[in-house]
Structure 1
Amino acid sequence: MINVSVVTVLASLSVSSDRSQFFEYESVSLSCEVQGNSAGWRVMRNTSRGNLSECNTDWGKQQGSSCIMLLIPADSGVYWCESGSGEHSHAVNITVPVGAVILESPALPVTEGDSVTLRCRYQGTPSDLTAGFYKDGSLIRTETTGKITIPAVSKSDEGLYKCSNSKGESPESWMTVTIENMTNHMNSP
């Protein structure tokens, strides 16, 4: 019998307020969460301008395994954690629009069955304006509260979301829906 061991790296990038869109000059903390030892892991990014670099070079301030940033539109891009040996976590898209409207949607994948709230926010007062919510370019609903809740997300809710209100339109953000770990179901009688 041949014993084959598979090493899986369980690293993830967490975003301080689990969303993918931020207003200009908002502060965010990105952290590498690694099972075991997080030493040697660093936060990396590839901006929309194609600049690949790590935290503490020309952006962000390294604090332990976290990277603290004061965001500007040039910070829009893809962020992930990387180890010294080249292992990667999943990637997170972060958008800092030039406009004053953002869609607050989860940056990290959501699990099927979870409740998810999407908020359309305006940088200024009032923040809760009547908003239209769009999925894959089509209007799904208009809400006077400026937010919608999907009580139990399913794989069919995965897609590109944006919102608009009287102050403008947010950029689009992709929401990923993952199916609960199937091994739990396979072991049940």
Structure 2
Amino acid sequence: MEVTALCTRLTVNVLMLLSAQSAVSVHKTVTDAAFPHIDPNRLQFFEYESFSLNCAGLRGPTEWRVMTKVPSNTSQWETSTGSVKIKLAFVSHSGAYWCENRSGERTDSVNITVTAGDVILESPALPVMERHSVTLRCRKRATSSNLPADFFKDGHFSGTGYTGEMTIDSVSRSDEGSYKCRISVAGHSAESWLAVGAYNTPTLHGPTPQDTPPNDGEETPTPPSSPGSIQLSILLPVLFIILCVAGLLLVVGLLQCRKHRAACFSSETPTTGSEGSQNICTVNQHGTEADPETSCS
């Protein structure tokens, strides 16, 4: 009965731990896969341009808000509920922006650059899915013409776009990195990070990414990651817990078995030859049976 009760308690504890680990995994996946939405969808802006940020589509126990750290010695936080509209952007609006709720949950951040220079790189703010295509554009201030531009990845020359654009077909993890561009008559842009999201295997229903026609060079929005994906960092602690429980049950079982066997051996009556010897009597020389009190051993 004690072993059964112990096994029951251990089983309940393991199930509770598994449930907690699954909840943390789902929450972490959903939170890490989310970003604030930027309109227009790019990371660099000229001064006096406008852009907006919002936390639409995020779910949580409390309302999400757009946050950014104010560049001051007081380390204050600028917060706002709903969407944030910056009608006239200044260099001071450059920095990291993310979504956060009152429970402390937060998304990944996006780094926005507002420049007073003459060249910006237009790259998508959200991650680009593997096997999709993406187009980077190098734009000069106050001009609508497409000037030839050189593109650089992680400080190394990547290629020249004679129309001011560079398209990466079938994006892979190796394309992730820091990009910038340069127009010879105007200068170079700041650097922006191009993030690449993992490709999700298509289901049996619905079109695959290869079946979806390109959107005339526009970036395809990134589908959210599956919240049910279980990471290796979650499986290892669970496996460790299961092995510990199994080892504990084995030790308890061996102890109970030894205790039971000891009790069995202690309850057995030892058999000796004394009973037989008491019934053996000696016979005298005349062939008659002697007195039991004198001749029986």
TM-score by length of 1: 0.84
| Residue 54 of structure 2: aligned partner | 31
Which residue, out of 44, 59, 63, partners 1:40? 63
Worse-matched range after superposition: 29-38 or 136-145: 29-38
Structure 2 stretches lacking a partner, 5+ long: 1-11, 204-297
Worse-matched range after superposition: 45-54 or 123-132: 45-54
Which residue, out of 157, 172, 189, partners 1:154? 172
The one-letter code of the counterpart of 1:68 is K
Which residue, out of 36, 41, 52, partners 1:18? 41
User: Which protein is richer in helix relative to its size?
Assistant: 2
| Residue 168 of structure 1: aligned partner | 187
Residues 127 and 180 of structure 1, relative CA distance in 2, 3 Å threshold? same
In the alignment, the residues of structure 1 paired with residue 193 and residue 71 of structure 2 have an alpha-carbon distance, to the nearest angstrom, of 16
| Residue 59 of structure 1: aligned partner | none
| Residue 104 of structure 1: aligned partner | 122
User: Which protein is richer in strand relative to its size?
Assistant: 1
How many residue pairs match? The answer is: 178
Residues 66 and 101 of structure 1, relative CA distance in 2, 3 Å threshold? same
The one-letter code of the counterpart of 2:85 is I
| Residue 66 of structure 1: aligned partner | 83
| Residue 293 of structure 2: aligned partner | none
| 1:53 counterpart = 2:85 | no
In the alignment, the residues of structure 2 paired with residue 173 and residue 131 of structure 1 have an alpha-carbon distance, to the nearest angstrom, of 16
Which residue, out of 133, 137, 144, partners 2:151? 133
In the alignment, the residues of structure 2 paired with residue 130 and residue 156 of structure 1 have an alpha-carbon distance, to the nearest angstrom, of 25
- On the 8 A contact 2:35/2:126 being kept in 1, the answer is no
- On the 8 A contact 2:126/2:195 being kept in 1, the answer is yes
Larger RCO, structures 1/2 (Cα 8 Å, 6+ apart): 1
The one-letter code of the counterpart of 1:143 is G
- On the 8 A contact 2:138/2:181 being kept in 1, the answer is yes
The one-letter code of the counterpart of 1:67 is V
Q: CA deviation at 1:173?
A: 0.7
TM-score by length of 2: 0.55
In the alignment, the residues of structure 2 paired with residue 12 and residue 158 of structure 1 have an alpha-carbon distance, to the nearest angstrom, of 17
Runs of at least 4 residues of structure 1 off by over 6 A?
none
The one-letter code of the counterpart of 2:78 is E
